[in-house]
Amino acid sequence: MSKDKNPRRVADNEAMAKLRMLRTSPQKLNLVAELIRGKKVDKALTDLTFSKKRIALDVKKCLQSAIANAENNHNLDVDELVVAEAYVGKNLIMKRGRPRARGRFGKIIKPFSEITIKVRQVEGEA
């Protein structure tokens, strides 16, 4: 009397990883996600390693997690993996402020975002 197994959220030749609560705006994070979309994973890891963007290290960690999920959980070949999707979403926004002249209040927003990376095994494609 066990529960039914949950269906997979991705296809049989895919794996994914999600990283939440990244302390950057979604707009800036999307610039880094554009670097890796559609590339082979080894090329994407190289690009993220040498990127000057601060958030690129966190995106690299998420990509490495997706690769590890593909290898260990779904038995996919690492050499044939391609970044199929890399999309960015909003998360919470911390609202802070600073007193300004004449009794006003300067609003400071500190956005958080999240990134989802899907890798796909592509047979014999360069």
CATH number, residue 113: 3.90.470.10
Structural domain includes residue 2: no
Mean pLDDT computed over every residue of the chain: 94
| Residue-wise pLDDT tens digits, 98-121 | 999 999 999 999 999 999 999 999
Structural domain includes residue 126: no
| Residue-wise pLDDT tens digits, 40-80 | 999 999 999 999 999 999 999 999 999 999 999 999 999 99
* CA-angle at 60, arms to 59 and 63, nearest 5°: 90
Structural domain includes residue 4: no
Q: Is the pLDDT of residue 125 over 60?
A: no
Structural domain includes residue 69: yes
Structural domain includes residue 67: yes
Domain range for residue 101? 14-121
Question: What pLDDT is attached to residue 38?
Answer: 95
Question: What pLDDT is attached to residue 2?
Answer: 84
- Rounded to two decimals, what is the model's pTM? 0.90
Structural domain includes residue 79: yes
Structural domain includes residue 25: yes
Structural domain includes residue 7: no
Count structural domains, the chain.
Answer: 1
Tokens 């302390």, located at residue: 23
User: What span, in angstroms and rounded, lies between the C-alpha atoms of 118 and 49?
Assistant: 19
Q: Which of 60, 59, 81 is CA-nearest to residue 70?
A: 81
